[in-house]
Structure 1
Amino acid sequence: MAFEFHVAKNGSDIGEGTKQNPFLTINQAAGVAVAGDTIVVHEGEYREWVKPQNAGLSETRRITYQAAEGEKVVIKGSEQIQDWEQVEGTVWKTVLANSFFGDYNPYTEEIFGDWVVYNPGRHLGDVYLNGKSFYEAENFEQLKNPKIETEVLDRWTKTIVPAHDPEQMKYTWFAEVDENQTTIFANFHDANPNEELVEINVRKCCFYPEQTGMNYITVKGFEMAQAATPWTPPTADQPGLIGAHWSKGWIIEDNIIHDSKCSAISIGKEVSTGDNFRTKRKDKPGYQYQLESVFLAKQAGWSKEKIGSHIIRNNTIYDCGQNGIVGHLGCIFSEIYNNHIYNIALKREFYGHEIAGIKLHAAIDVQIHHNRIHDCSLGTWLDWQTQGTRVSSNLFYRNNRDLFVEVSSGPYLIDHNILTADYALDNHAQGGAYVNNLIRGKMVHRKMLDRATPYHIPHSTEIAGFAVVYAGDDRFYNNIFIGDDHLEGVGTDHFNGYTTSLEEYIETVHKDEGDHEAFNEIEQPVYINHNAYLNGANSFDREKENVVAADFNPNLEIIEDGNDVYLSVELPKEFENLLGEIQTTQSLKRVRIVDAEFENPDGSEVTVDTDYLGEKRSDKSNLGPISQLQAGKNRIKVWG
């Protein structure tokens, strides 16, 4: 029999957990709820780390944690601090016994781990004034005289970009910790911290099981914030503010999640499959340890039957230092959709190679669609083993980069997306299909001949082989490319010199005797047709049918109006002269290295016939993500 337990701020943990006699803490309910039960949490602020102790048993026998309908429920990893003492000018301090933090003191824990590139001594702690996070100073002098910058360096793109919030940079904190106590100094400027809401990070997570295998859990309708989450590379434990911790079948939906020091939602690996060994041992490159983590994961039960298949939908995720959604290995067979992700890694207090709105490794059969991702250091990064993955109908804008696919052999499908950053696409992979996208921005295409990465038997975690990225074996159909005077590589001309069929490739490879040498030298086939190239975007020299309007400026804009977002774009009259064909498993052809077809996760044939707005395409329809685009001016609602 399924039970409904209630939690309320007027409850008691020696209560019965009924609506009339509720529990006081969510954790008390988590200790008694079993498969099929529901935990309803009523309005209020809950400062606790919720640790599910029991698992659901199936899709129909879940354990559901949900906010009471129409009530605001907030779970925080912070504590309110009200006893501040003025030290000097606008600088105040609070002194806390180290026992206040238990066995996890965020003010001694530094940002640490594999692929951390830049960290001038920053920690996992944070200070918040009325919900707004401070910047950590490197020393006491910098605390008194904060450096305010209107422009900052984006360390990946090596470009100067506008600072996210220059005014907020003046609010700084600095901590000193000895064997007995932690002293936190903060520059509050005109505010009196004893008269305002001031909070500090205390807990690592807000909702995260300590044990693995906590399957079939639903978390719905909460606001969760202010957790001291650690750096989450693919070679370490990956705790998020909320996460599944190496489990199966979670649903995380309708939540507002913000101010995680590093990652907000984690569907990633656990500690036994690697623990920052590159940084700790220094004896092998991180690449080697990442390979080892894949095999360790197989030994730990990494399979469709035991891991992954999560649903992350309808969440708002913002103001996090590293990732909105992260996951290595544990993300397999998941679906991520209708999420609004923004302001990720824009404070730039630290930097490393594992930062994005969505950052996934081994995203086997993961479906990422209809998300709005903007104002991030990087929108979405699919790294290693991107196979059976589909990125469809997502809106990207004002990111420093929009999309990065790295060291993967496919097949993966990128369709009906709107990519508008000045730096739109990094393609360091092979075996991809880019269909009906709008791409306005720099495109970078690279080989990766020094890192052979695994590929899999289709729709499984079984490893079929390893391959380096020769580049190519890509498909570009029905896209609109938009260039600009200051943008590089927009279009498909970086494939000039590539073969255009598997037959031509094989014939060219075998003209001379030898084995692997020729495969390293001959360019893989590419399949490119029916694209539009505007405002300086350049076409592949063997493309048979396209539209080229080199001097036509579409004046593309993404316009926000409240929660609604509009695409404004002008298209030349030639645009309607070329119609795109619907792409299917048959027309996209198999990818060479993996010897696999473009398919749906269930193995059925894929048909790319539904546009960004959910409209069915006719057999011949206009290019780009939205079938109703036409010559002349267009203004179309794309979110809201």
Structure 2
Amino acid sequence: MSGIEYHVSLVGNDSWEGTRSAPLRTISAAAEMALPGDVITVHEGTYRERINPPCGGESDDNRIVYQAAVGEKVEIKGSEIITNWEKVQGDVWKVILPNSFFKGFNPYANLIQGDWFTPKGRDHHTGAIYLNGNWLVEAAEFNDVIHHEGNTMLWFATVDEQNTMIWANFGNSNPNEELVEINVRQSVFYPKQSGINYITVRGFTMRHAATPWAPPTAEQVALIGTNWSKGWIIENNVISHSRCTGISLGKYGDEWDNAETTTEAYHRTIDRALGNGWNKEQIGHHIVRGNTISHCEMAGIAGSLGACFSVITENIIHDIHVQRSFTGEEMAAIKFHGAIDTLVSNNRIYRSVIGLWFDWMTQGTRVSRNLLYDNYTSDLFVEVNHGPFMVDHNLCLSTDSKDMLLNVSQGGAYVHNLFMGAVSILPDLGRSTPYLRAHSTEIAGHHTLECGDDRLYNNLVIAQKDQNGLSKYDSAAFPVFMDGNVFLNGAKPCIHETAPLEADWFDPSIKFVIEEDSVYLHLTCQMDWKNQKSRKLVTTELLDQTQISKLPYEDTDGKQFRLDTDYLGVARDESNPYPGPFEMIGEGRMVIKVWPHA
């Protein structure tokens, strides 16, 4: 449906009409005027405001669109510029700001805290200091700033009844001659109300948010977030420097936020969410695509229950939880609880504590064609799920991580992946977690995690540094189903695979080369891998149904699986598909462009 197009410009005025010739000055003013079908076009420049959209669209075809003007760079920041720094000594400077400067929300008095958060014995605040776009690290004590040695630049703040005083070490820079910004707003684009549906946000650079810890039991405020809504499209943005979370598709807030860190508390959270409209008709169905997300200390994208029925695709996510001054249980490039029928595909994820973390009720989920490398704990962590879920055609290349795959789930299918590194399989008999009816949020039952009931077909498994391959499955409690896998460089098969192809002497010498915006995978292949005659095309029929939920493996749209194309979209040999992500022709040294996807 067609509507009104409102224009916003730094030369505008909020008392004007919002036309191209008489633009508004702030995005927030346009948001107050926009109705379903309207478009808000923002022109070149930096806008320092928090957008709280009061109204959403009515349907996927009648939404409200916020967009940067084509070909124009538009930044929205949750920070303000500070220029009146006074030198203390050496490289240390200070500034004193009246508390009124913060207009009711002071990030330097606002602690990071909540369920499953571990502060490491010190305070952490949602404030942050930036020098020419790079953030400084918050010090634990005032003296750490004054007497600091080394290259890391630190800051420290105190707040009394009237003023906020900030000390910062800027190295060799004079902060009054450089761009110095500080967090002043909790978020950049986030509705205060839930149920603001069908919004599109595209083409912006959004930075600098004093975001809180966002556990699955509390409201998940982020630099940009949906706040328990339906049908958002967040696309082609640059999102960075959120104190905790970049994008949230998460839960609403209520009086039980951050009240109790237990499994039982999350069970009660789920029950309340079901009473607050957690269902296929009202929640989720978001699309997050083509964004670059970085420098978030909790998660690049988080979502408790609200990411269901969504598509997360073609994003670049990097440098997540790299300061590591605090810890907890929620840090990952993508961390979802209840990712029902959610597709996570074609993403590039690197330099994150964990790449992908799927926790509780990962069912009907598909994780496909993702490129993961240089993640320092694991590429994939699946926790207390009963399936069915599909993990196919992924490149998991974080060779120095503790566990390339950390599997505390059952009912997963792992198909045509390239796995480099350790695979750990762990039961969890202390937690009984939900499984659901097919393609629904309706709870069908609860069960503990014995482990097993997984399917592993046609993967390339390459050991690094005497790692185990798939041998940890030898003692799985439930049956496991394996065939067509190839084990290289010392990787060991599971005893339950009847005819594994082992070439423990062969090192494919995998490396990846980054050239500007492209990534190339170099590896050495052998035609012998093709000659494993037991290998089959993977289909829903082959995978059968899961032990606990008693459901078949189906795609996120309910259609049956037939994995007849590879990572690059090339047709598979249906009579004898090649192992791993690529349908190879020939042998020897190969160079494959793996990002961006063809």
The reply to whether TM is greater than 0.5 is yes
Which deviations, in whole Å up to 9, do the C-alpha atoms of 1:335-357 show, x marking residues without a partner?
00000000000111211110000
Aligned to 1:144: 146
Which deviations, in whole Å up to 9, do the C-alpha atoms of 1:44-95 show, x marking residues without a partner?
0000001101110000000000000000000000000011111122111111
Deviation at 1:633, TM superposition (A): 1.3
Residues 1:190 and 1:557: Cα distance change in structure 2 (over 3 Å): same
Q: Is the 8 A contact 1:273 1:293 kept in 2?
A: no
Q: Is the 8 A contact 1:413 1:434 kept in 2?
A: yes
Q: Is the 8 A contact 2:38 2:65 kept in 1?
A: yes
Q: Is the 8 A contact 1:240 1:262 kept in 2?
A: yes
Q: Is the 8 A contact 1:127 1:198 kept in 2?
A: yes
Find the residue that maps to 2:306 and give its secondary structure. Answer: coil
Counterparts of 1:604 and 1:425 in 2: how far apart (Å)?
Answer: 27
Question: Which one of 562, 570, 574 corresponds to residue 615 of structure 1?
Answer: 570
One-letter amino acid matched to 1:633:
R
Residues 1:105 and 1:497: Cα distance change in structure 2 (over 3 Å): closer
Residues 1:273 and 1:255: Cα distance change in structure 2 (over 3 Å): farther
Deviation at 1:546, TM superposition (A): 2.3
Counterparts of 2:355 and 2:515 in 1: how far apart (Å)?
Answer: 21
Q: Which segment drifts farther, 362-371 or 565-574?
A: 565-574
Aligned to 2:434: 454
Counterparts of 1:17 and 1:480 in 2: how far apart (Å)?
Answer: 57
Q: Is the 8 A contact 1:325 1:358 kept in 2?
A: yes
Q: Is the 8 A contact 1:273 1:297 kept in 2?
A: no
Counterparts of 2:459 and 2:483 in 1: how far apart (Å)?
Answer: 9
Aligned to 2:249: 267
One-letter amino acid matched to 1:390:
R
Matches within 5 A, 1:535-554: 535-554=489-508
One-letter amino acid matched to 1:139:
E
Matches within 5 A, 1:356-505: 356-400=332-376, 401-422=378-399, 423-486=403-466, 488-490=467-469, 492-498=470-476
Deviation at 1:204, TM superposition (A): 0.4
Residues 1:273 and 1:251: Cα distance change in structure 2 (over 3 Å): farther
Q: Is the 8 A contact 2:573 2:583 kept in 1?
A: no
Find the residue that maps to 1:574 and give its secondary structure. Answer: helix
Give the root-mean-square deviation of aligned CA atoms.
1.2
Aligned to 1:133: 135
Deviation at 1:465, TM superposition (A): 0.5
One-letter amino acid matched to 1:326:
A
Aligned to 1:153: none
Aligned to 1:55: 56
Aligned to 1:14: 15
Counterparts of 1:72 and 1:473 in 2: how far apart (Å)?
Answer: 50
Aligned to 1:164: none
Find the residue that maps to 1:623 and give its secondary structure. Answer: coil
One-letter amino acid matched to 2:420:
R
Counterparts of 1:382 and 1:373 in 2: how far apart (Å)?
Answer: 15
1:188 aligns with 2:142: no
Which deviations, in whole Å up to 9, do the C-alpha atoms of 1:201-242 show, x marking residues without a partner?
010000000011000000000000010000111011101100
1:243 aligns with 2:197: no
1:94 aligns with 2:49: no
Aligned to 2:264: 288
1:533 aligns with 2:487: yes
Find the residue that maps to 2:333 and give its secondary structure. Answer: strand
Residues 1:461 and 1:237: Cα distance change in structure 2 (over 3 Å): same
Deviation at 1:145, TM superposition (A): 3.0
Question: Which one of 171, 174, 196 corresponds to residue 214 of structure 1?
Answer: 196
Counterparts of 1:213 and 1:183 in 2: how far apart (Å)?
Answer: 39
Q: Is the 8 A contact 1:578 1:622 kept in 2?
A: no
Counterparts of 2:335 and 2:481 in 1: how far apart (Å)?
Answer: 28
Counterparts of 1:320 and 1:479 in 2: how far apart (Å)?
Answer: 32
1:596 aligns with 2:551: yes
Aligned to 1:329: 305
Q: Is the 8 A contact 2:204 2:237 kept in 1?
A: yes
Structure 1 gaps, min length 5: 149-166, 279-284, 499-522
Find the residue that maps to 1:583 and give its secondary structure. Answer: coil
Q: Which segment drifts farther, 267-276 or 328-337?
A: 267-276
Matches within 5 A, 1:311-326: 311-326=287-302
Deviation at 1:629, TM superposition (A): 6.2
Deviation at 1:361, TM superposition (A): 0.3
Q: Is the 8 A contact 1:549 1:572 kept in 2?
A: no
Find the residue that maps to 1:421 and give its secondary structure. Answer: coil
Deviation at 1:273, TM superposition (A): 7.5
Matches within 5 A, 1:332-351: 332-351=308-327
One-letter amino acid matched to 2:158:
E
Counterparts of 1:597 and 1:630 in 2: how far apart (Å)?
Answer: 35
Counterparts of 2:549 and 2:426 in 1: how far apart (Å)?
Answer: 19
Counterparts of 1:623 and 1:7 in 2: how far apart (Å)?
Answer: 53
Aligned residues, how many? Answer: 588
Counterparts of 1:542 and 1:630 in 2: how far apart (Å)?
Answer: 30
Find the residue that maps to 1:496 and give its secondary structure. Answer: helix
Counterparts of 1:9 and 1:384 in 2: how far apart (Å)?
Answer: 45
Find the residue that maps to 1:587 and give its secondary structure. Answer: helix
Find the residue that maps to 1:186 and give its secondary structure. Answer: strand
Counterparts of 2:547 and 2:495 in 1: how far apart (Å)?
Answer: 22
Find the residue that maps to 1:87 and give its secondary structure. Answer: strand
Question: Which one of 183, 186, 191 corresponds to residue 204 of structure 1?
Answer: 186
Counterparts of 1:146 and 1:630 in 2: how far apart (Å)?
Answer: 57
One-letter amino acid matched to 1:402:
D
Deviation at 1:460, TM superposition (A): 0.7
Aligned to 1:633: 589
Find the residue that maps to 1:28 and give its secondary structure. Answer: helix
Q: Is the 8 A contact 2:129 2:183 kept in 1?
A: yes
Deviation at 1:602, TM superposition (A): 2.7
1:354 aligns with 2:333: no
One-letter amino acid matched to 1:407:
V
Counterparts of 2:338 and 2:147 in 1: how far apart (Å)?
Answer: 44
Deviation at 1:33, TM superposition (A): 0.4
Aligned to 1:40: 41
Q: Is the 8 A contact 2:423 2:472 kept in 1?
A: no
Deviation at 1:359, TM superposition (A): 0.3
Counterparts of 1:363 and 1:351 in 2: how far apart (Å)?
Answer: 23
Q: Is the 8 A contact 1:622 1:630 kept in 2?
A: no
Counterparts of 2:324 and 2:502 in 1: how far apart (Å)?
Answer: 39
Q: Is the 8 A contact 1:590 1:596 kept in 2?
A: yes
Aligned to 1:520: none
Residues 1:273 and 1:460: Cα distance change in structure 2 (over 3 Å): farther
Which deviations, in whole Å up to 9, do the C-alpha atoms of 1:438-487 show, x marking residues without a partner?
0001111000111111111111111101111110000000000000224x
Find the residue that maps to 1:581 and give its secondary structure. Answer: coil
Q: Is the 8 A contact 1:254 1:314 kept in 2?
A: yes
Question: Which one of 565, 580, 588 corresponds to residue 624 of structure 1?
Answer: 580
Counterparts of 1:403 and 1:348 in 2: how far apart (Å)?
Answer: 19
Residues 1:595 and 1:273: Cα distance change in structure 2 (over 3 Å): farther
Counterparts of 2:538 and 2:88 in 1: how far apart (Å)?
Answer: 67
One-letter amino acid matched to 2:524:
E
Q: Percent identity?
A: 46
Deviation at 1:540, TM superposition (A): 1.3
